Amino acid sequence: MDRTKHPRSRRAALVATAAISALLIAGCSSSSGGKKAEDDAKGASAGKADTPRMTVALVTHQAPGDTFWDIVRKGAEAAAAKDNIKLIYSADPSAGNQANLVQNAVDQKVDGIAVTLAKPDAMKDVIGKAGQANIPVVGLNSGLADWKKLGLLQFFGQDESVAGEAFGKKLNEVGAKKAVCVIHEQGNVGLTQRCDGVKKTFDGHVETLYVNGTDMPSVKSTITAKLKQDSAIDHVVTLGAPFAMTATQAVGDAGSKAEVATFDLNKSLTDAIKKGTIEFAVDQQPYLQGYLAVDSLWLYKNNGNYSGGGEQPVLTGPAFVDKSNVDRIAEFAAKGTR
Amino acid sequence: MTQQAAPAAAPSPASGPGQRDGRTRQRSLGLRLLARPEVGVFLGAVAVFVFFLVMAPTVRQGSSMATVLYQASTIGIMALPVALLMIGGEFDLSAGVAVISSALTAAMISFQLTMNVWVGVLVALVLSLAVGAFNGWMMVRTGLPSFLVTLGTFLGLQGINLAVTKLVTGNVATDDISDMDGFDQAKSVFSSSFHLGDVQVKITVVWWLVFAALATWVLLRTKYGNWIFAVGGNKDSARAVGVPVTFTKISLFMLVGFGAWFVGMHELFAFNTVQSGEGVGQELIYIAAAVIGGCLLTGGYGSAIGPVFGAFMFGMVSQGIVFAGWNPDWFKAFLGVMLLGATLINLWVRQSATRR
């Protein structure tokens, strides 16, 4: 009968499909690269404190899927694990929403809040509320000019202008004459400060170029177009690691001889520095920002410490990474923590 | 439906006395040509092109045109299925992040299982088609507007892109797969380039034109093409005359999935890694290219060639501003003004063509 035959043939077909796919999968293994080749090295670990469990909220202005902020978060998580802290991480690039997230942390009566001040005015009220609730607040990453005004305990970050100025000096050292500064998010204050800093100390000429950061092919063709339009450009300055990688391709496409240098690091960037396709990177050490911000709240609660005495910010950058020191840093970058 | 062959009757003089009233009068060949959906945008594109030829000396080099065409092709490959879908009366907001979902899937499957990258490429294709099928099925099944359904998919995919990537790789970007088996082959298919004289042309430009030719043929010469116009014009009357509305709509969404897969593969093999937060906002650019290309947001009208010029115009304007060396602070404003201007030319041409 058809009825009895049907399921069996279907089962046979299923078995056959499974067998074929298993064979295919076995035959299709890659002999190089991939997970197999990746180290299963873990991030830094420094034991664990036996202090009472506390809760810390880290609220940033991260845009979804950004490699930089992922490293900040990893640093914060490492410190939280060490200090017996429960870390609540939340982020929103829009200032109003970020303020709501801080309010949410205040409502939860956390033991400490670490916050970025990309748009300080929007955060003023809610930081005041945290103060009324006796919750210590520290700042990180952005807000160097405002953290004291808003009554934050301490601040960990990089002065974007200082970093830009250091970058400009380094460009002088390597003999650059004309640079283009690629901004991947039009209207971002920190990114603009970086380019302005470069302009201030660089003896050559700097031009700004805006690209659409959410669309890599468009980033590539826009940089290519700029290099073609102005063949005198000998340095492309990018403000994020993934854009630096794309810029190297644009340089190739445009048939230009320009060098690429960048702000911020990631995994593939250290390889590029080793190979020499990227000249240098200035690193603000995002891992350190996240780590110190969380750790400082623990120290404040358990030992009453203030980093910088509550008067001076703690600078985490600019640290330069180039061929001379990349090997040491690459091993950490490979873990996605540097 | 727009693409009916015009009868070859001799055109009557434009203002002869004692004629029938103007409504049934045969219009001249020129006017009939101008009334086609792609002609307005073609003239707009030519205007933009000439404008930058004059304003920006660099544009006159062949290699600069290759850059413009490359930018246009990555938009254009997606604008094609998006335009077909729009002619079919629907809308896909998830198209931008779907590109990234596809690229992420291929990268992670290959890397995490240490497979030949082609395995990842095929799994990504299946996933992309499945996302399209889901959009179409959900929309047909529930009767919700496609705007709402694909907005849900858009947000869903955006979250999944991030969360799954972080879960699987421990980072928000995928690992570099450029040293894995099959990478070079796949790169030659999806993101290689070749020399035309001394100009380096990206392979995506070729694919774009091939897909455009294919889409035009399907739209104008096949039964399926008629179905697309029919379901976009009036779904119920289409169903009444025997057009498989459900099949047509679901397959159109799957076509967008295919486009997302293709562009996703291009991005993966061009840049070796993918950041999970990308792609947001691109859907509007695809839709814009289709609309500038003469497709109506209400469906039932449009062409496949129009979006080709729409995407070209977008690439030309965004690169032309850089080639011209204008103050970049105004970049977005220039882009908006020029696109609006080009679209107005488009509109004016169509109106003056159909008025008399």
Contact B71 A221 (CB under 8 A): yes
Contact A30 B74 (CB under 8 A): no
- Predicted pLDDT at A25: 64
Which residue in chain B has the smallest CA separation from A63?
B277
> Which residue's structure tokens are 């392979």?
B203
Which whole number is the average pLDDT over B215-231? 95
Chain A environment of B111 (Cβ under 8 Å):
33-35
Q: At B28, which amino acid appears?
A: S
Whole-angstrom Cα distance, residue A75 to residue B216?
A: 53
Chain B environment of A208 (Cβ under 8 Å):
328-329
Residue B22 scores a pLDDT above 60: no
Contact B115 A70 (CB under 8 A): no
Which residues, other chains included, contact B51 with Cβ-Cβ below 8 Å and sequence gap of 6+? B320
Do residues B97 and B131 touch, judged by C-beta distance below 8 A? Answer: no
Quote the minimal CA–CA distance from A281 to chain B in Å.
Answer: 19
Residue B11 scores a pLDDT above 50: no
Contact A34 B280 (CB under 8 A): no
Structure tokens at B152: 């849900």
Do residues B332 and A236 touch, judged by C-beta distance below 8 A? Answer: no
Best to test chain B binding among A216, A230, A277 (most B CBs inside 10 Å): A216
Chain A environment of B68 (Cβ under 8 Å):
221, 225
Chain A environment of B267 (Cβ under 8 Å):
216-217
Chain A environment of B186 (Cβ under 8 Å):
none
Q: Kindly provide the ipTM of the predicted complex, given to two decimals.
A: 0.75
Contact A30 B318 (CB under 8 A): no
Bridge partners (DSSP) of residue B195 are: B200
Helix (H), strand (E) at residue B59: none
Q: Which of B314, B310, B339 is nearest to B39 (CA)?
A: B310
Contact A229 B56 (CB under 8 A): yes
Whole-angstrom Cα distance, residue B268 to residue B283?
A: 18
Contact B315 A221 (CB under 8 A): yes
Do residues A74 and A290 touch, judged by C-beta distance below 8 A? Answer: yes
- Predicted pLDDT at A46: 67
A205 to chain B, any CB pair closer than 8 A? The answer is: no
Whole-angstrom Cα distance, residue B314 to residue B291?
A: 12
Selecting from B278, B285, B322 the residue whose C-beta is nearest the C-beta of A222 gives B322
* Secondary structure string (H, E, C) spanning chain A: CHHHHHHHHHHHHHHHHHHHHHHHHHHCECCCCHHHHCCCCCCCCCCCCCCCCEEEEEEECCCCCCHHHHHHHHHHHHHHHHCCEEEEEEECCCHHHHHHHHHHHHHCCCCEEEEECCCHHHHHHHHHHHHHCCCCEEEEECCCCCCCCCCCCCEEECCHHHHHHHHHHHHHHCCCCEEEEEECCCCCHHHHHHHHHHHHHCCCEEEEEECCCCCHHHHHHHHHHHHHHCCCCCEEEECCHHHHHHHHHHHHHHCCCCEEEEECCCHHHHHHHHHCCCCEEEECCHHHHHHHHHHHHHHHHHHCCCHHHHCCCEECCCEEEECCCHHHHHHHHCCCCC
Q: Which of A337, A116, A302, A213 is nearest to B332 (CA)?
A: A213
A21 to chain B, any CB pair closer than 8 A? The answer is: no
Which whole number is the average pLDDT over A218-225? 94
Contact A25 B115 (CB under 8 A): yes
Which whole number is the average pLDDT over B104-122? 94
Which residues, other chains included, contact A4 with Cβ-Cβ below 8 Å and sequence gap of 6+? none
Quote the minimal CA–CA distance from A91 to chain B in Å.
Answer: 13
Q: What percent of chain A has pLDDT over 90?
A: 57
Selecting from A35, A217, A246 the residue whose C-beta is nearest the C-beta of B71 gives A217
Residue range A296-320, pLDDT digits in tens: 999 999 999 988 888 899 999 888 9
Contact A242 B119 (CB under 8 A): no
Which residues, other chains included, contact B160 with Cβ-Cβ below 8 Å and sequence gap of 6+? B101
Regarding predicted confidence, which is higher, B328 or B90?
B90
Residue A130 scores a pLDDT above 50: yes
How many residues in chain B? 356
Residue range B133-182, pLDDT digits in tens: 999 999 999 999 999 999 999 999 999 999 999 899 888 888 889 889 99
| This model's pTM is above 0.90 | no
Whole-angstrom Cα distance, residue A134 to residue A147?
A: 17
Chain B environment of A25 (Cβ under 8 Å):
113, 115, 119
Residue A12 scores a pLDDT above 90: no
Whole-angstrom Cα distance, residue B322 to residue B59?
A: 10
Q: pLDDT averaged over chain A?
A: 87
Q: What percent of chain B has pLDDT over 90?
A: 57
Whole-angstrom Cα distance, residue A286 to residue A76?
A: 10
Q: What is the CA radius of gyration of chain B?
A: 22
Q: How confident is the model at residue A95 (pLDDT cuts 50, 70, 90)?
A: confident
Selecting from A30, A224, A228 the residue whose C-beta is nearest the C-beta of B180 gives A30
Q: Are strands A319-322 and A280-283 parallel, antiparallel or unpaired?
A: antiparallel
Quote the minimal CA–CA distance from B249 to chain A in Å.
Answer: 28
Chain B environment of A221 (Cβ under 8 Å):
67-68, 70-71, 315, 319
Quote the minimal CA–CA distance from A314 to chain B in Å.
Answer: 27
Which residue in chain B has the smallest CA separation from A334?
B175
Residue range B258-297, pLDDT digits in tens: 999 999 999 999 998 888 888 888 999 999 899 888 888 8
SS3 B12: coil
A249 to chain B, any CB pair closer than 8 A? The answer is: yes
